[in-house]
Amino acid sequence: MVRVVLIGVAALVLFTNLGRIGDLFGSLSTSGTGRTAKPCPVEAARWLPAEGEDAELVARYDTGKHTVTICRDSAGSYHYDGQLKGKPTTSDNHISLPAEQTATGFVAVNGDYRYEISGQELTVKHKGKIQARMRLEPLPS
């Protein structure tokens, strides 16, 4: 009888914590030597601290004119990288900024400019005024 009660309690605990257990196994599979995350692309990683060593790709988009990449470095910080398509990856054709994750995406700030990714849209603001809205097409990672 005690065995049946213990098995019932164990099953109840397991059932009520399935989400947490799944999260634990998910985080184990994406970190350390068994990590499944993709590395940050070289053209974006080279602008990150330590040249992006161990940086992971979070998201990559195409606006039609730009390639926008979000990477997370080994310290867990996010970075926004915007590149003009069809041009060499130089400081004239690209921007790399620290970014913060938001409830709907990411935001990066460069002086009076603010780059907001929300869902499938990039909004560029200058001094709070919208300068551009671009549809983001996810690129395969």
**pLDDT at 22 > cutoff 50:** no
User: How far is the C-alpha of 117 from the C-alpha of 81, rounded, in Å?
Assistant: 12
**pLDDT at 57 > cutoff 50:** yes
Specify whether domain 38-138 bears CATH 1.10.1660. Answer: no
Q: What is the mean pLDDT of residues 40-65?
A: 93
Q: What is the mean pLDDT of residues 23-34?
A: 39
User: How far is the C-alpha of 87 from the C-alpha of 110, rounded, in Å?
Assistant: 21
Q: Where are the domains of the chain?
A: 2-32, 38-138
Give the alpha-carbon dihedral of 63, 66, 67, 71, to 10 degrees.
Answer: -100
Question: What's the pLDDT tens digit per position in 31-46?
Answer: 444 456 899 999 899 9
* The pLDDT of residue 15: 39
Tokens of 133: 């809205």
